[in-house]
Structure 1
Amino acid sequence: MSEGRPAPGYSINEDGKKVSDEQIKEFLLELISGECNGYGYRKLTLALRRDQYKLKINKKKVYRLCKELDILKPQRRKKISHPRKLARNRVITESNQLWEADIKYGYVHGEDRFLFVFSIIDVCDRSIINYHIGLHCTAVDTVQILNRALLKRQLFEAQEKPVVRTDNGPQFISNTFEDHCEGLNVEHERIPPKTPNMNAHIESFHRIMEDDCMSRFEFETYGEAYEAITNFMDFYNNRRIHSSIRDLAPNEFYKLQKGKKADIKEIRV
């Protein structure tokens, strides 16, 4: 007996662009974290169709995505294990004080599927400390990359660890990620909805990656995309001139300031 056509994993917006289900989940979490907190799945469907998102999406799909997120209206009153800690204004004077993390979505045209790039950037030296490229990006993946970033900077056993700032994506509000940060004694703060400027450094990096890498190619295979993005990460960290860090590449600047040989201006975030 046929089980029907599998879900495509995306919806189309008014411009004809494919928007992944993972991105739509972020939109839903953004909506219910703000003015639309009281909406059920039917009203959330209407909100997704309107000006800000302009998605061509039906209520059955929104119901399914809400169910996957466990945000159907009757369940929203359950006790929250980890109340959101809002990002606050900070003054950064050296590396490893504040890391920003986010997920970028890409598309493999030849295979008609999305890929995910999760990156962690140091706000001071602009290095991408570690990253994940894959056909999925779960909370477990984000935990693994956070561990690798801490190990790379020799901070896994340190008493003082960086603050990690994210948006309110499903991976970051999960108990898996929150429990892990708590266990590591890592302070995790989340930006308020619709305030990407509070995650400006990782947002800026993703714009650079889009302009200089992802939009330059129409990937036929996931392997092609993986190679192109990996090469770009190497170029960005080790050779790309960055005007805000004395026209040096991020890793060059990090090594200088680690040796106390770089003048660092205060960064207010």
Structure 2
Amino acid sequence: MSERRACRALGQHRSTQRKVPRGRDDEAALTADLVELAERYGRYGYRKIGALLKAAGWLVNDKRVERIWRREGLKVRARQPKRGRLWDGDGSCIRLRPEYRDHVWSYDFVEARTHDGRKFRMLNVVDEFTRECLTIRVARKLKATDVIDVLSDLFILRGVPGHIRSDNGPEFIAKSVQAWIAGVGSKTAYIAPGSPWENGYVESFNARLRDELLDGEVFYTLKEAQIVIESWRRHYNTVRPHGALGYRPPAPEVFLPAFTAWPAALARPAPPAKLSVEQRPTLH
């Protein structure tokens, strides 16, 4: 069959068989920026990368980003599914829905380890309506008094929220914590025992924190962990696109340029060098 008849049968213009398609003039620059962001944020898909490109000034749609993403062979490694009990609750996690900023806060603990194997804890506080992470307190030990200290600082900065949601951990159900929260005019909202899905907002944040930061970093000191985690928190609030917010960051009023996010801005210290036998100090 001739080219003319084949194009007529397919409804395709004959020029498509003769003209070599040319990419846009900015294709190489866009590809370079996209690959750079994909290398920097290994846990982001093409939609979040596209949102960062738009924030940096690129006029590009998701289809073009996806095309370049696939052409470059980029992909996000799938996470291992958690095994265990299915989420078969009765929907009690939506009994108290956040309706405005500072209506409902939720907080929870996350544990990690430094390079020497010692544990440290993080107290994460999240505004459920804006999805903003209000603070992450990092310390070797966190008790009920530390919970009160973190909340008092936040109450001074942002005011008193209507409700504070948490699980039934001993630091949260302590009488001193309950009395202090009630004394400042807020209310506690405890989830049912053994039902972490009822605290879904902060649980989702904890998963992002572990997936995007903790699983890929080695902290040699507690101070290093505090600095890096705080830098990531600011990046999460001001730069990282959030799918539930239309791929906008939770706190765009203090938005930072997309290419000055936390991985490039940090000057990470080198790991401590091991001393040889001759270099080790001797005791007299």
Instruction: Give 1:172's aligned residue.
Output: 172
Shift of 1:109: 2.3
Instruction: Give 1:192's aligned residue.
Output: 192
What pairs up with 1:134-145 in 2 under 5 angstroms?
134-145=139-150
| Structure that is richer in strand per residue | 1
The residue type equivalent to 1:135 in the other structure is: R
2: distance between equivalents of 1:152 and 1:198?
27
Are the structure 2 counterparts of residues 189 and 93 from structure 1 closer, same or farther at C-alpha, using a change threshold of 3 Å?
closer
Instruction: Give 2:18's aligned residue.
Output: none
1:91 aligns with 2:97: yes
Conserved 8 A contact 2:121-2:139: yes
What runs of 5+ residues in structure 1 fail to find an aligned partner? 1-50, 53-85, 256-269
Q: Secondary structure at the match of 2:227?
A: helix
Instruction: Give 1:240's aligned residue.
Output: 240
Are the structure 2 counterparts of residues 192 and 254 from structure 1 closer, same or farther at C-alpha, using a change threshold of 3 Å?
farther
Are the structure 2 counterparts of residues 252 and 119 from structure 1 closer, same or farther at C-alpha, using a change threshold of 3 Å?
same
What pairs up with 1:114-153 in 2 under 5 angstroms?
114-153=119-158
Shift of 1:168: 0.7
The residue type equivalent to 1:116 in the other structure is: R
Are the structure 2 counterparts of residues 106 and 249 from structure 1 closer, same or farther at C-alpha, using a change threshold of 3 Å?
same
The residue type equivalent to 1:127 in the other structure is: E
Instruction: Give 1:225's aligned residue.
Output: 225
Q: Secondary structure at the match of 2:138?
A: strand
The residue type equivalent to 1:101 in the other structure is: Y
Shift of 1:210: 0.3
CA-to-aligned-CA distance 1:108-147 (integer Å, 9 cap, x gap):
122x211111011011101111231111111111111111
Instruction: Give 1:105's aligned residue.
Output: 111
CA-to-aligned-CA distance 1:155-208 (integer Å, 9 cap, x gap):
24xxxx320000011101111211111111210121111211111010010111
Give percent identity, aligned residues only. 22
The residue type equivalent to 1:204 in the other structure is: S
What runs of 5+ residues in structure 2 fail to find an aligned partner? 1-82, 85-91, 256-284
Conserved 8 A contact 2:93-2:200: no
Instruction: Give 2:27's aligned residue.
Output: none
Are the structure 2 counterparts of residues 217 and 131 from structure 1 closer, same or farther at C-alpha, using a change threshold of 3 Å?
closer
Instruction: Give 1:210's aligned residue.
Output: 210
2: distance between equivalents of 1:88 and 1:176?
27
The residue type equivalent to 1:117 in the other structure is: M
2: distance between equivalents of 1:113 and 1:162?
36
Are the structure 2 counterparts of residues 211 and 88 from structure 1 closer, same or farther at C-alpha, using a change threshold of 3 Å?
closer
Name the TM-score, length of structure 2 as normaliser.
0.55
Q: Which runs of at least 4 in structure 1 moved beyond 6 Å after TM superposition?
A: none
Are the structure 2 counterparts of residues 87 and 198 from structure 1 closer, same or farther at C-alpha, using a change threshold of 3 Å?
closer
Rg comparison, structure with higher value? 2
The residue type equivalent to 2:215 in the other structure is: S
